[in-house]
A = this chain, B = another copy of it.
Amino acid sequence: MKKITIKDIALEAKVSISTVSFVLNDKGEKMNISKAVIKKVQEVAEKLHYRPNMIASSLRTGKTRSIGLIVEDISNQFFSDLARVIEDEAKKLGYRVFYCSTGNDDDRSDELIQSLLQANVDGFIITPTEKLEKSIDHLIKLKKPVVLIDRYFPGQNVSHVVMDNYEGSYSATQFLIKKGRRSIAFVNNTSGMIQMQLREKGYVDAMKEAGLYQESLILHLEYHSNEDAKIAAIVHFFEKNTGIDAVLFSANYMGLAGLQAFRKMDLEIPKDLSVISFDDHYSFRLHTPSISVIEQPIDAIAVKAVGLLMDQMIDGRDFVIEKVLQKGKLLIRESV
């Protein structure tokens, strides 16, 4: 089966290849090509089952109609949900999405950016890792459209869309306090990224306002440790700090490790301990009791991020840097 090119169409329709190209790119009217010719070309293209060669057109135009999506871990449900919505949104606009996971590894993130640059993606949506600020500066210098999601660098002037982490954490903590909980722990990781800092700050402020704050109630888990190590650390922490009656996890994978720790310790939820975690997860719904979460507005984040990226990708438009905060949602289930 021979590849059909615009040359074949031109031959068959007895017009020049430029005419074919104009018609197939819907520029026929603009170029004052006659209705009859337009119709003819379209029919021939249809008849021969013409499929444009995207590689050739990319080489010529320098555009690939693709965007690179770099997330932390595509096998984490939060990110795979995000990716799916972003992909759908992009497809509506005729863009293809290449996605890859950093595993929060800075070197790998940098490599991925290089490789996507080399694949000539037209724009980037990134959940940056800690040391990625330079690489992102680099993209900006290259005038590549970039939107960050889930987190960002406070000093850097780049569009980003994130949840209102401070508010989410603050309200969840207040909710626990109103429920009569007094000794509320906060389990975070050691990454120090802005979204984790804000989640911690929301908790700290709510605790301080209620006069309940104690530094010893905060546990920081090594980010790069495996799940068993996290479970062990949580067990150790709760054995040392008896009397804790509630806990807020700053991400779903910590919450999941926590549930396993509590099972080992035979702690009963919510009698002994109220539990709330950031980010929803299938296992939180299935768990007995089901676990309350601060659900991220995934759809809103994805749609907005694609929108901001498109704004930057439209040639010549003077785009504005936008920094968007989306509200999360406290989903109360049986665990509080």
Residues of A participating in the B interface, judged by any CB pair closer than 8 Å: 1, 51-56, 58-59, 64, 74-75, 77, 80-81, 84, 96, 98, 114-115, 117-120, 141-142, 256, 259-260, 263, 282-283, 286-288
Evaluate whether A75 and B80 lie within 8 angstroms (CB atoms) in the complex, with A56-B59, A118-B54, A283-B286 already known. yes
Chain B residues with CB under 8 A of A52: 118
Let me know if A51 and B1 touch, CB within 8 A.
no
Chain B residues with CB under 8 A of A282: 256, 282-283
**A144: shortest Cβ distance to chain B, in Å?**
11
Distance between Cα atoms of A84 and B71 in the complex (Å): 14
Chain B residues with CB under 8 A of A256: 282, 286
Chain B residues with CB under 8 A of A1: 141-142
Tell me the interface secondary structure of chain A in the complex: helix
Distance between Cα atoms of A84 and B282 in the complex (Å): 20
Supply 8 further A-B pairs (C-beta < 8 A) apart from A53-B118, A55-B120, A256-B282: A54-B120, A55-B64, A56-B59, A75-B84, A96-B115, A256-B286, A260-B286, A288-B288
Task: Using CB atoms, name the residue of chain B closest to A56.
Answer: B59
Distance between Cα atoms of A98 and B98 in the complex (Å): 7
**A298: shortest Cβ distance to chain B, in Å?**
12
Task: Using CB atoms, name the residue of chain B closest to A282.
Answer: B283
Chain B residues with CB under 8 A of A119: 54, 96
Distance between Cα atoms of A99 and B122 in the complex (Å): 19
Distance between Cα atoms of A1 and B56 in the complex (Å): 23
Distance between Cα atoms of A80 and B83 in the complex (Å): 13
Distance between Cα atoms of A53 and B51 in the complex (Å): 23
**A54: shortest Cβ distance to chain B, in Å?**
6
Distance between Cα atoms of A52 and B114 in the complex (Å): 12
**A123: shortest Cβ distance to chain B, in Å?**
16
**A240: shortest Cβ distance to chain B, in Å?**
24
The 8 closest A-B pairs by CB, nearest first: A283-B283, A75-B80, A55-B58, A55-B59, A283-B286, A59-B59, A51-B118, A56-B59
Chain B residues with CB under 8 A of A141: 1
**A153: shortest Cβ distance to chain B, in Å?**
22
Option from B56, B75, B118, B287 in Cβ contact (under 8 Å) with A286: B287
A-B contact list, 8 entries, CB within 8 Å: A51-B117, A53-B59, A54-B118, A74-B80, A98-B98, A263-B288, A283-B286, A288-B288
Chain B residues with CB under 8 A of A80: 74-75, 80
Task: Using CB atoms, name the residue of chain B closest to A287.
Answer: B286
Distance between Cα atoms of A33 and B290 in the complex (Å): 69
Task: Using CB atoms, name the residue of chain B closest to A285.
Answer: B260
**A150: shortest Cβ distance to chain B, in Å?**
18
Chain B residues with CB under 8 A of A142: 1
Distance between Cα atoms of A310 and B318 in the complex (Å): 46
Chain B residues with CB under 8 A of A56: 59
Task: Using CB atoms, name the residue of chain B closest to A3.
Answer: B62
Task: Using CB atoms, name the residue of chain B closest to A120.
Answer: B55
Q: Which of A53, A96, A98, A282 has the most CB of B within 10 A?
A: A282
Chain B residues with CB under 8 A of A77: 75
Distance between Cα atoms of A81 and B84 in the complex (Å): 16
Let me know if B81 and A75 touch, CB within 8 A.
yes
